[in-house]
Amino acid sequence: MVDTNAMFAPILRALWWLFWGLIPLAFVAILFRTAWFKGLIGEAMVNIAARLFLDRRLYHLIKNVTIPVEDGTTQIDHVIVSRFGVFVVETKNMKGWIFGCERQKTWTQVIYKSKHQFQNPLHQNYKHAKALEAALGLSPEKIIPLVVFVGNSEFKTRMPANVVQGMGFIRFIKSHAKVLPTEAEVRETVEKIAEGRLEPSLQTHLQHVQHVKGIVAAKQRPAQVPPAKRCPTCGNEMVLRTARKGDHAGKKFWGCSAFPKCRTTMACD
């Protein structure tokens, strides 16, 4: 009689080890798809390119700079300090078509028929630049914001000169040949960043992430509706309106909801 248990035991053991081998692979596959990991890879690509193609005697690369600000912290992907300016670099690791212009609040990423909105990186980096400017006590012309897209993305709208793809950031940095800070200022700036930044650690990163989540949640909360105003003449509810004609065109005011029977208006606070 054939011992079926003996026959299937090796197969079951093989399946068991295969199962436990697939778990870490599945975890890694999920990790690779997260925005955090994509951002990490994008920053690593910029770090490597900067170290390979920028003269270390002239350009001082400082990565992952988290500095305290009035309402919490701000996190800068890379700061490159040089005699030609202090470059504040924001990295975006994205794919697909990218649509956006300088003054838009949000830009659009299109992957086939799927569209995603994301914060205008120029606005995001402007906040970083102003925070660094205040922390270092430097004049605005010495701070140069730069946004770098890495990954398989393609701009579908005309971008400002300081929004580049891939190795374009090296060309952008080297195109600034006008000497701005003195050598002493360069050393002082590097020292100030080292002294003023928060320690690069997982805890620092998690605290900053919580701070950002709080800001996003606050923006997503519905605006509080003010208590209803009542018309002092007839008692009906006052409605917020916008003047279309005359000297006050474009300005908001409170008008009686019983208009045209009641023409009472009130200035908007």
State residue 85's pLDDT score: 93
Identify which of 47, 43, 74 has the alpha carbon closest to the alpha carbon of residue 61: 47
Highest mean pLDDT among 178-192, 213-227, 250-264: 178-192
pLDDT digits (tens, 9 = 90+) for 230-250: 888 888 888 888 877 777 777
pLDDT digits (tens, 9 = 90+) for 10-67: 655 655 555 555 555 544 445 445 555 555 676 788 889 889 999 999 999 999 898 8
Using 50, 70 and 90 to split pLDDT, how confident is the model at 222? low
CATH of domain 35-216: 3.40.1350.10
Q: What is the mean pLDDT of residues 169-173?
A: 95
Q: How much of the chain exceeds pLDDT 90, in percent?
A: 35
| Bridge partners (DSSP) listed for residue 122 | none
Mean pLDDT of the chain: 80
**Exposed e or buried b per residue across 172-198, where buried means at least 16 C-beta atoms within 10 angstroms of its C-beta:** bbeeeeeebbeeebbebbeebbeeebb
Using 50, 70 and 90 to split pLDDT, how confident is the model at 219? low
* β-strand pairing of 143-150 with 106-111: unpaired
Report the C-alpha gap between 9 and 230 in whole angstroms: 83
Compute the chain's Rg from CA coordinates: 28
State residue 4's pLDDT score: 52
CATH 3.40.1350.10 spans which residues of the chain? 35-216
* pLDDT value at 5 more than 60: no
* β-strand pairing of 114-119 with 153-155: unpaired
Angle, CA 193 vertex, CA 191 and CA 196 arms, to 5°: 105
pLDDT digits (tens, 9 = 90+) for 252-267: 888 888 888 888 888 8
Report the C-alpha gap between 222 and 215 in whole angstroms: 14
pLDDT digits (tens, 9 = 90+) for 121-156: 999 899 999 999 988 888 899 999 999 999 889 999
More confident residue, 194 or 15: 194
* pLDDT value at 159 more than 80: yes
Within 10 angstroms of residue 107's Cβ, the number of other Cβ atoms is 22
Place of tokens 């649509």: 99
State residue 269's pLDDT score: 61
Identify which of 160, 117, 132, 152 has the alpha carbon closest to the alpha carbon of residue 38: 152
More confident residue, 234 or 172: 172
